[in-house]
Amino acid sequence: MAKLYFLDVTNRDGVQTANLGLSKLEKTMVNIYLNEIGVFQSEFGFPTTRHEAYYLQANLELAAMGVLQPIRLEGWLRAVVPDVERTFKFVPNIKHINLSISTSDQMLQGKFKGTKTQEDIVSMMVDALEAARAHGTETVGVNAEDASRTEMHFLIKFGLAAKEHGASRLRYCDTLGYDNPFTIYDSARTLAESVGIPIELHCHGDLGMAVANSLAGAKGAIDGGQDAYINTTINGIGERAGNADLIATILATTKSKTFGDKYQLGQPLDLTKAWKTSKFASYAFGVPIPINQPGVGANAFAHSSGIHADGVLKDPENYELYSFEELGRGEPDLVETGREICSGQYSGISGFSHIMGQLEVSFDDGRQAEEILELVRYANVEAQRPLVEDELLFIAKYPEITKTLLTLSP
């Protein structure tokens, strides 16, 4: 039976969200956390964007070193040949990419202003796909942007052309969050049966159904005989109302009534990293986690009413579907209420040594400490907020990689 995989797009859809962004070090930490959770693939950035090149190369290097393994790192670009060529100029060793192009009549008329026919769309995609494969890519996903507003017969034609030219997957983008669980089930199943390659489900939350649609679409793809790749973002951060939340979608696929019995994961996931990952993304994006967020919200395991409190104390399963321990919660959160020494772009060696000493990191000599401190200063310039422990430990452990991450040369 076909299986279910997670493909996280926080480092692409998440960071292109209005008013939000991540530094290159923060994007790297996101990849590390996704790998720890067991996410199959991270859409780790934009290889046609000059300022991403060093970051993308540094992360591919981390993959080659075994640090970012087994997660697969994949770049997103438009399905046009110049973008493919630019990608391989900036990041020659990238092995996995997704090519995106609009397929709906709305976009053909509204975005391309009628200058492109459906045939033009297919041939642009095929040309880009062939160019990418000529560069030795291992996998190429093809994205149908606004698929949910695209006529099905054209989507099938588009998908078949992609398959014929070697695409690994077809991404069904519900770009505007227009689908509901019933319609996306039908669409994904039809595509799986008619095109015959694995289907990605890319769902947005404009109507509050991103998680439900992801599940229904995955069910459709698997019932149609193909693997399903659900696209998610951490804390659901993404364009407008956001994407399917990673943790909520994992919980929904594994804990909801009977779903996990039939629709199984292609690889195990470790939810004990959920709390740490969600908190980091919240801090790095500067967006609080809603208190009623599934699994990671402040109220997700809070009970005050008499009947509920009594019930949960007698047996947690009375009022909780899953335990907080499963999500890596339960450790007290230590917040400094007295003197605090934190990292900054103007930090000096004394404060820095104090911070690193608390993390039990020691240096060979003063020169090495100065070198790491200099990298920490630069990381602070980019992030404009104190670094978290994991970031400081990363910099101390991988100074050369950090140097590459922090390189911006316009």
Residues forming the site for Zn ion (CB under 5 A) = 13
Residue 22 or 388 with smaller CB distance to Zn ion: 22
We find the least distance from the C-beta atom of residue 68 to Zn ion, in angstroms, to be 23
We find the least distance from the C-beta atom of residue 359 to Zn ion, in angstroms, to be 37
Strand partners, 41: 7, 72
Residue 176 or 361 with smaller CB distance to Zn ion: 176
DSSP 265: B
Residue 47 or 238 with smaller CB distance to Zn ion: 238
We find the least distance from the C-beta atom of residue 236 to Zn ion, in angstroms, to be 11
Map tokens 């459709």 to a residue. 220
Residue 13 or 52 with smaller CB distance to Zn ion: 13
We find the least distance from the C-beta atom of residue 169 to Zn ion, in angstroms, to be 16
- Distances in Å between the alpha carbon of 140 and those of 93, 126, 134, 231? 14, 11, 11, 15
We find the least distance from the C-beta atom of residue 238 to Zn ion, in angstroms, to be 6
Residue 202 or 279 with smaller CB distance to Zn ion: 202
Map tokens 């996280």 to a residue. 8
We find the least distance from the C-beta atom of residue 35 to Zn ion, in angstroms, to be 22
User: DSSP alpha helices (H): ranges in 53-115?
Assistant: 53-64, 81-90, 105-110
Q: Which residues contact 68 (CB under 8 A, 6 or more apart)?
A: 31, 32, 35, 59, 62
Q: Which residues contact 35 (CB under 8 A, 6 or more apart)?
A: 42, 68, 69, 70, 71
**Peptide bond connecting 70 to the previous residue in cis, omega within 30 degrees of 0:** yes
Residue 13 or 74 with smaller CB distance to Zn ion: 13
Return the exposure string of 144-153: e unless at least 16 CB atoms fall within 10 Å of the residue's CB, then b.
bbbbbbbeee
| Angstrom distance (rounded) from CA 406 to CA 240 | 29
